[in-house]
Structure 1
Amino acid sequence: MPGIKDVRLMLHQATSSEEVCNKLINILLPYNETNNPLLSGYRGGATMILAKHAFNPFSKLSHFKKGKNILESAIKSDNSNIELRFLRYTIQTSVPSFLNYSNEKKTDKIFLTKSVSDLKDLELKRIINAYLLKYP
């Protein structure tokens, strides 16, 4: 199983590298909302990022919708997972409005604001706090 710190780093790198994006998706293929909702959610996020690297508009939309479904299934399976909700929040604050993927933005922000102080993972806590300051 890949380490979560490596997965976070690869997801960040995936925004500028299609190769890293595809590699991350392949590494996370064995995980789903049942056996590991967090890694499945990251696979969904990476699949949505793959849309950024596609040229064809239909491919872009297809990758985005597929990734969105994977991420939403992961969150449905583990709704109280701070990292999954943060992943969705970061995506919803950065995608174009025409994709209509902002319906949980306010709810996630409230959840994150209330829950971040309970995090044991100090690196994740720092990342979330910094993001919430940047995108109030």
Structure 2
Amino acid sequence: MNFLIVVFGLFFTIIHGIDVDEVRDAYRYANSSKEKTEQFYQLTQKTNHTKDNVMAAYYGCALTLKASISSKMGDKISYFKKGKKIIETAVQADPDNIEIRMIRLSVQMNAPRITGYRDDIEEDKNFMLKNINEVSSSKLKEFIKGFMSHSKIFSEKR
């Protein structure tokens, strides 16, 4: 019986997919608690992250957050490295995508210094400032502007 429930759940997810707005909403709160991080991770696993660069970047972000809540050092390192690699692959595949750049920026701003994953902060910040007005989707533009208004890096004096 449990098997049928799992199969039906997978079938339903495949048919309906996960909406990017649902992922964006979960992303907003993913770092607020272990439960929200786990929910974000579970949600991004159900996305088409192997074929969609934006979803891949969110999945990579979820992995880096999962690293932060893992109790075993080996798991922390593994999740973080895998997440970083997925994010960088998404950026390389679609370097002009402002949403992917925002995701990488948010991860790098919050990554522990020991990871060394902080090299693109200024580049991504400048890319976002330069390109925010070019975003055609009003939902995406509002989402990114919300991120920018809550990020210290955008309020710092140059």
RMSD, aligned α-carbons: 1.7
Tell me which moved more, 119-128 or 77-86. Answer: 119-128
User: Which of 25, 38, 42 is the matching residue for 1:23?
Assistant: 42
Structure 2 unmatched ranges of 5 or more: 1-16
After superposition, the C-alpha distances for 1:48-67 in whole angstroms (9 at most, x for unaligned) are: 11011100111111100000
For the 8 Å contact 1:31–1:40, the answer to whether it is kept is yes
Give the CA deviation at 1:21: 3.3
Q: Which runs of 5+ in 1 are unaligned?
A: none
What do the CA deviations read for 1:52-97 (whole angstroms, capped 9, x no partner)?
1100111111100000001111111110000000111111111111
Q: Is the 8 A contact 2:53 2:90 kept in 1?
A: yes
Contact conserved, 1:24 with 1:46, CA < 8 A, in 2? Answer: no
Number of equivalenced pairs? 132
- 2:8 matched to which residue of 1? none
**Which contiguous aligned blocks of 4+ residues in structure 1 show a shift greater than 3 angstroms?**
none
Cα distance in 2 between the residues matched to 1:14 and 1:125: 16
The 10-residue stretch of structure 1 (90-99 or 122-131) with the greater mean CA deviation from structure 2: 122-131
SS of aligned partner of 1:79: coil
Counterpart position of 1:127: 146
The alpha-carbon distance between structure 1 residues 53 and 129, as it changes in their structure 2 partners (threshold 3 A), is: closer
Question: Matched residues, percent identical?
Answer: 27
**Deviation (angstroms), 1:129:** 3.1
Q: Max radius of gyration: which structure?
A: 2
* Equivalent of residue 55 in structure 1, options 47, 53, 71: 71
Supply the distance in 2 between the matched residues of 1:56 and 1:116 (Cα, whole angstroms): 39
